[in-house]
């Protein structure tokens, strides 16, 4: 009695094993994203991770923004830390602003405005210990009050200005509160 049992060629068996292995890896790779780690949630309307620090930082920046829109210099100043210092983006020390000068500067500039539209989109917040940097996209427009000449007549000047630009705020945590040290 002879048996006609044929065995597969060794190369065919190797191909079958490789195909089965590749199929298993493909199935596992397609399942892994749905069963893996849950992505970190973000603060509504942003791509900013939802952490307590990030929420507090955005709250401070929103107080700054709404105070600016309502032209409340004292409320804007309340978001600044006593160590506030801003170089205004230049190497010229004559345009630098300290906390001691900030209140008068805000009152003067806000008094020149009829209206403000000011929005901020939060791009990135980086927290390192008690310091943070917030990068934002600002879209703002300002309508200026007329500037009067010595006869009380309005001088020709641009009554309106629009600003769209990236900006950066630096903040420091003092106790449980975040305050702005640069960027106003």
Give the CATH number for residue 68.
Answer: 3.10.450.50
Domain assignment present for residue 24? The answer is no
Query: pLDDT value at position 10?
Result: 55
Query: pLDDT value at position 148?
Result: 75
CB-based contacts of 12-20 (< 8 A; 24+ apart in sequence): none
Domain assignment present for residue 167? The answer is yes
Which stretches of the chain score pLDDT less than 50?
A: 2-3, 5, 28, 32, 35
Phi, psi of 25 (to 5 degrees): -60, -40
Q: Is the pTM of this model over 0.85?
A: no
Q: CA–CA separation, 66 vs 155, rounded Å?
A: 30
Domain assignment present for residue 150? The answer is yes
Q: CA–CA separation, 176 vs 123, rounded Å?
A: 23
Query: pLDDT value at position 62?
Result: 98
Structural domains counted in the chain: 1
pLDDT tens digits for 72-99? 999 999 999 999 999 877 788 888 999 9
Counts for the chain of helices (H) and strands (E), in that order:
4, 6
């Amino acid at each position: 009695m002879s048996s006609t049992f044929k065995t597969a060629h060794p190369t065919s068996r190797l191909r079958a094993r490789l195909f089965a292995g590749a199929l298993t890896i493909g199935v596992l790779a397609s399942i892994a994203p749905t069963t893996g780690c849950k992505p970190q949630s973000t603060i509504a309307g942003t791509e900013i991770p939802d952490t307590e620090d990030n929420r507090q930082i955005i709250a401070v920046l929103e107080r700054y923004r709404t105070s600016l829109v309502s032209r409340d210099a004292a409320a804007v100043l309340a978001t600044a830390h006593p160590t506030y210092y801003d170089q205004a983006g230049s190497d010229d020390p004559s345009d630098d602003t300290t906390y001691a000068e900030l209140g008068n500067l805000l009152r003067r500039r806000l008094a020149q405005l009829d209206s403000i539209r000011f929005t901020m989109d939060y791009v990135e917040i980086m927290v390192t210990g008690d310091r943070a940097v917030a990068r934002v996209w600002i879209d703002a427009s300002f309508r200026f009050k007329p500037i009067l000449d010595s006869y009380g007549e309005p001088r020709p000047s641009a009554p309106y200005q629009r600003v769209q630009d990236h900006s950066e705020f630096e903040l420091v945590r003092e106790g449980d509160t975040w305050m702005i040290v640069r960027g106003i």
